[in-house]
Structure 1
Amino acid sequence: MIKKISIFLSVLGLFKFSQGYSCDPNVCKPPSCTCASQLPPGGINPKDAPQFVILSYDDAVNDSTFPILKNMYKGLAHSNGCPVVATHFVQNVYTNYHQVQQLYAQGDEIALHTFQHTALASQNEIDSGRTVLSTFAGIPLNDIKGFRAPFLNYTNDLIQSVQNLGLTYDSSTSTIRQDSSWPYTLDNGFNESDVDCNTTGTCGSITNHQGLWEIPLYSFFYKDASKPPVSMDPPYDNGDLMTLLKDNFNFRYNGNRQPLAIAVHAVHCSEPEAKVKLFRDFIKWCIGQKDVYFITYSQLIEYMKNPVKASELSGHPAVSCHKFETYKVKSDSEICDGIDNNGDGNIDEGIVESCGIGNSYFSTCFGCPTSEPSINNPNPVRNGDRKTIPPQGCTEGTWDPLTSNCVSVSGSTYLESIAPEKIVTEENATSGNLSSGTYSYHKTISLFIIYIFTTLVYSLLY
């Protein structure tokens, strides 16, 4: 028995990254709790795990950024037919809510970035931002699940506010190790060995937050160790940027397959235009590799709650686009849902309203306000009788704010989606050589040994 206890404690050591973080995987179990670990969840061998890529964009969505977002990834699809999607951490000031509605209608996730991009915002400001996005962009409250702190500045009080609001995850930390953890819950606080504590100065003060997920910004690392890692907006330097992107993809793909996070401010991609094309070419190259999926942050959490091998992913919520497909409704007239319902090439023409009040200028399907939305009054009285989407949204179909009903997608009302741009796997598989990831070979072997060791010990104990 003493021998077994000693072995058991050794295994627990795999989940003790530093003096400040310790997690017992026999107590912290999915789906409600997950320990920080470099290995894929569920004891899956890294070579059998899917490779997820999570695209995210911060700040306002408006005429300056919306075209960039569409040109960077829209129209691209995986081999299963589901589109490449992204997560948008949206601030409210300077945002056009009808454009946010269009992103959501096309399968993207909408998350929070405070009302006016305030560092260390109050809980009330975060909540007001959520209310405005639901009221004027038509995002169901239950679908707004995540938060990222402006400037990546956070404190324990801020993380507590995120939890108090019932959100599912935070994404305000950036990693300082290339071989960092998969997403995990904060039941045992931050995994300090992953987080740049010297910069934030907050790690030791972050207490436990039961059930709240942390999805870090996985930094990009240069092979030249003299260059610092980059968590957001990797600098554009033509071929060097593509090399940086592919090197970091290969490190994960040939290693522990932790998610690759591409986090940018869309406005930083406005010049040069070649940067948008480079990112799009990289996305095409990625989905040309086997078992690679671009998913939203919430979909990644769905996978962490119920991890399976890549070969068993079919139908899994993490890679399904059922909701995206059923959102589309065919109609002889527009419904004001962010979709081109009548197929004439225009979206919500004739019924979307343009609003200008105070310092706010935006379009919306849900009625212009009689006063400017603010932190203290996020849902002012609106003109007309258009209704806000219910918190749970529509199970099937789309919300019609003019009739205050969910419009069915059954039978002839279902809009057959136009096939998105397909990526030829063979062509793109030859456009980038995965051999540049061989420098992670020894790391991969080490992870595999840990996996075998953990499995062996489990069998001895149980």
Structure 2
Amino acid sequence: MHAFIPLLVLIVNVGAVPTPFDEDVNVTTFAPPCNITACQLPNCLCSSTSIPGNIPVNNTPQFVLLTFDDAITIGNINYYREAMKNRLNPNNCTISATFFISHEYTDYSLVHELHSNGHDISLHSITHEPLTTYWKDATIDTLNREFADQKLLVSKFANIPTADLKGIRMPFLQMAGNNQFEMLKANNFVYDLSWTTRQYIKPGLWPYTMEYLSIQECLIPPCPTNSYSNVWVIPMINWEDMSGTVCSMVDACVHIPNTSDELLDWMKREFNKQYTGNRAPLGFYVHAAWFVAVADEIRFDAYKKFLNYLGTLKDVFIVSGSQVIEWVKNPKTVAQMTAAPITCHKTNPLNCNPKACRLIKEGIIDRWMTSCATECPHSYPWLGNPLGDK
């Protein structure tokens, strides 16, 4: 049995579907409806269920996004190591996952390891404040302190270039409207992976840019209404549990099978909604704590079996958020993706000497933090003090 830190999971309200951008805004601030003639790849793509590049569906790669939220710790790293070990995509490149990390309790030497192995390290805020109203009402300044400063924090303590920290996910998937996307744009983030959809499950909604008004419904308002160039949205396409209830995170699905093989069948069912549809990217969004929520770890067993199954399909690629965006910018058929010569995603040699530091958080609370920094910070890095130098 693996140790773990309990993590909070949002279960999305399943009432009536709100209209898009269900918030009190001045309509004159709305981005215009999409101009398909003006909005062209690689830097602009209208929100749509159409396959980018007009590639025929049977020649379109099916992308699968494996993501994990919250702290990276010695209690969950072995799940990630075991699940990802020795797995290759059809182009013989190693698979990649995306980790949306929150700061508290994170071991940054392990974050460095994941990045060195070619996974996306993305941001989930410094504080992971549990009150959703904090995120709903967050100002641009608050979001800068939570995410822009976290980029500096992760870069320093995990020894990762800031340019490699490309995506964010809002805590509890609580959107912050235009302020959220103003922050993304101002700080050169590439993509957001927080915005849920149940209207566009089949056919699924493909990633798109925010120059023009999105067709995506707003399930957890406020959602953005203004125009933001070069900022991508990867829609979180909902799953459905065995009762038909939608769930944005897989570990928020309540009515699910309780045996490994039945869980596998359910995972295949949800996968096939995209695979037999328009092949919009399928997200398997989860927290590691879900794997140990039952005594015999049948969920982790089913998860590995699901990855084994995906590995038998020659047009399915398990990739990171940034890799999906790169493909959408320059769409290629399955044959083109697997034709020699192949350029695989970047991996890096380990360059971290882990250092454990006992620190004071906000003047009173002891915190241990392991990082790649050569010296311990003056205090525990936190909001308004991301480098711990105050």
Task: Determine whether 1:206 maps to 2:241.
Answer: no
Q: Aligned equivalents of 1:36 and 1:250: distance in 2?
A: 22
**SS of the counterpart of 2:197?**
coil
Preserved contact between residue 65 and residue 284 of structure 2 (Cα < 8 Å): yes
1:173-192 matched pairs, under 5 angstroms = 173-177=195-199, 178-179=201-202, 180-192=204-216
Q: Aligned equivalents of 1:300 and 1:65: distance in 2?
A: 25
Q: Aligned equivalents of 2:387 and 2:340: distance in 1?
A: 36
Letter aligned with residue 179 of structure 2: D
Partner of 2:4: none
Preserved contact between residue 144 and residue 167 of structure 1 (Cα < 8 Å): yes
Partner of 1:43: 54
Task: Give structure 2 stretches of 5+ with no counterpart.
Answer: 1-18, 22-29, 361-365
1:14-413 matched pairs, under 5 angstroms = 22-118=33-129, 119-120=134-135, 122=142, 123-155=144-176, 156-177=178-199, 178-179=201-202, 180-192=204-216, 195=217, 197=218, 199-203=219-223, 206-222=225-241, 227-232=244-249, 233=251, 234-235=253-254, 237=257, 238=259, 239-272=261-294, 273-314=297-338, 320-324=343-347, 327-328=348-349, 337=351, 351-358=353-360, 359-367=366-374, 368-381=376-389
Larger CA deviation: 228-237 vs 148-157? 228-237
Partner of 1:342: none
Alpha carbons of structure 1 residues 68 and 150: separation in structure 2 relative to 1, 3 Å: same
User: Which structure carries more relative contact order (alpha carbon 8 Å, separation 6+)?
Assistant: 2
The alignment-based identity, stated in percent, is 30
Q: Aligned equivalents of 1:18 and 1:114: distance in 2?
A: 26
Letter aligned with residue 231 of structure 1: S
**SS of the counterpart of 2:246?**
coil
**SS of the counterpart of 2:175?**
coil
Structure 1 residue 322, shift from structure 2 partner: 4.6
Structure 1 residue 381, shift from structure 2 partner: 4.5
For the aligned residue pairs, the C-alpha RMSD in angstroms reads 2.4
- For these two proteins, the number of residue pairs brought into alignment is 337
Report which of the two structures shows the higher radius of gyration computed on alpha carbons: 1
Preserved contact between residue 64 and residue 267 of structure 1 (Cα < 8 Å): no
Alpha carbons of structure 1 residues 322 and 157: separation in structure 2 relative to 1, 3 Å: closer
TM-score computed with the length of structure 1 as normaliser: 0.68
Q: Deviations over 1:240-298 (max 9, x none)?
A: 43222101222211211111100001122223322112111101101211211001100
Letter aligned with residue 206 of structure 1: T
1:446-457 matched pairs, under 5 angstroms = none
Alpha carbons of structure 1 residues 289 and 231: separation in structure 2 relative to 1, 3 Å: same
Structure 1 residue 206, shift from structure 2 partner: 2.5
Q: Aligned equivalents of 1:201 and 1:60: distance in 2?
A: 26
TM-score computed with the length of structure 2 as normaliser: 0.80
Preserved contact between residue 96 and residue 361 of structure 1 (Cα < 8 Å): no
Q: Aligned equivalents of 1:68 and 1:42: distance in 2?
A: 36
Preserved contact between residue 71 and residue 276 of structure 1 (Cα < 8 Å): no
1:405-424 matched pairs, under 5 angstroms = none
Alpha carbons of structure 1 residues 98 and 244: separation in structure 2 relative to 1, 3 Å: same
